[in-house]
Structure 1
Amino acid sequence: MTSAVQAELERVRVRARRRRQSKNWSLFLLLAGPNILLILAFIYYPLLSNMYYSTLDWRLGSSTATPVGLENYTTFFTSDSGLEVWRVTGIFTAGAVLGSMVLGLLVALVLDKKIPGTTAARTAVFSPYVLSGVGVALVWNFIFDPTRGGLSYLLGFLGVSSPEWYLDADWSLVMVVLVYVWKNLGYCAVVFLAGLQTIPRDLLEAAMIDRAGPVRRFVSVTLPLLTPTVFFLLVTNVLFSMTNAFDILRTMTPTGHGTNTIIFEIYLQSFGAYQRAGYAAAIAVVLFLTLFLVTAAQLRFVERKVHYS
């Protein structure tokens, strides 16, 4: 075969490969293009716009804004109110995540037993998770009412006075943590239950033959095999507790008295009495970076302890 024929064949193959790549790119843009445009329009454009707004001294509704650089960030990280937001956020996140996961695991261990009524019990446990956060908060508002609430009546029956749930900042934080844990408990229980049902029964039976008690079987067999589930719930619960608790916080404590987590502080600063849209935008950027760093740290360090086999 002459070199001219070989060169022509090579050109034909190159043209065919380019046509194939062009066809693939056209199909990709046809199918993925609308989704990419939606993501750019509703995620990245607002994110970049918010970063720009965070450098402004801008009151919500005002037609003018003054560039202030990083002053909003400096104020948030150095002011007493900003430090209080971090304290409240840390306590709320730790209480919500640990409470939901520990109680969810205990409930899942009970629901994993083959006893009558487990199906109804699983439904009852998971039901609060799918309810509206506003509706849940309204019901719990009646329960926590210090004069006519069911909890006040129960404490009075036991000879204990009801705490000032809405007036005392510390008790307000405890109150919203309890409600969030109650609502999120079913989600953790169902995920843990799915993880428990994937554990090979022959391993547990082998541990029983070796005379390992229930606690030893749980620590040595069940818990290590549940680490992928624990890791998944740890990541999702941290993200959810810092971003998805707004409805409960806003409904139960409208002014943020002792419950001003970082997501609630964004609302209070922008749409509350302060109307500081630029400052709220800076807090929103801090929240985004915090979630990114927390998730990256979990993926980098916590995942090392996960057993996938």
Structure 2
Amino acid sequence: MACGKVTICKIFVILCAFLNVNGQKTVIELNEDNWVDILKGEWMVEFYAPWCPACKALEQKWKEFANLSPGLGIKVGAVDVTSSPGLSGRFMVTALPTIFHVINGEFRQYKGSRDKDSFTSFIEEKKWEQVEPVPSWKSPNSIQMSIVSSFFKLSQTLRQVHNKLTEEYGLPSFGSYLIFAVATIILGALLGLVLVCAIDLIYPPKQSVLTKEDEKKEKYSEEELDDDDIKDDLVDDANQSGDQASGTDSENATTESNDTKTKRRKNRRLDM
């Protein structure tokens, strides 16, 4: 019975593919404007580049798989990373081709074989349930990945400017790099100035204001210093006067001793 059900499903898929081969394009081209459509329903999305040999080898197989998408109940899309660099940054595509399975805004990277049957069994047998989804912080619809996407767009714009300067205007490569270096320095200086002004406006510097208590403390400290100076002067004066007094006492003592000696000599002469 199980084999019969699988056979009926395959016949239904082939019939839908046959009915859909009337020149109708089943691979949906995704870009920066319509990529949010994959957040609803179930999708298989390929990231490719026209110059990639592996992408060219997968192109026909991907179209054949897309022809089966109505019977599988999914949508099949493709993203050209050369025309939509922001999406390659948003999904962190580091190799080509890269395939993602998306269901109701949940992203999983497909790493199986790249052929129609493998893609079909991946959807029919729900093998995607065995694959760990992309963590929330790396989810393409998160804020941080939107920032990464803008950086990828900026890098692509700078590359286009560089190619235009070198190819159309005949500027040597080092001249283009020099222009970018000077522009980076000027922009960095302007950005720093803006940041400093913004910080000063938000957090203005505090002015040192002396309170009444601080003024009183300063006055008291000055008065204490004056008292100490006066005390030091008094001590110095006392020491000087003491030195002078001791000097006069010693002089008086020597004078008295000299007088006594003269008196004794006179007395001796009279006795003789």
Taking structure 2 as the reference length, the TM-score comes to: 0.24
Taking structure 1 as the reference length, the TM-score comes to: 0.22
Higher RCO (Cα < 8 Å, 6 or more apart)? 1
For the pair shown, which has the larger CA radius of gyration, 1 or 2? Answer: 2
Give the structure with the higher percent strand.
2
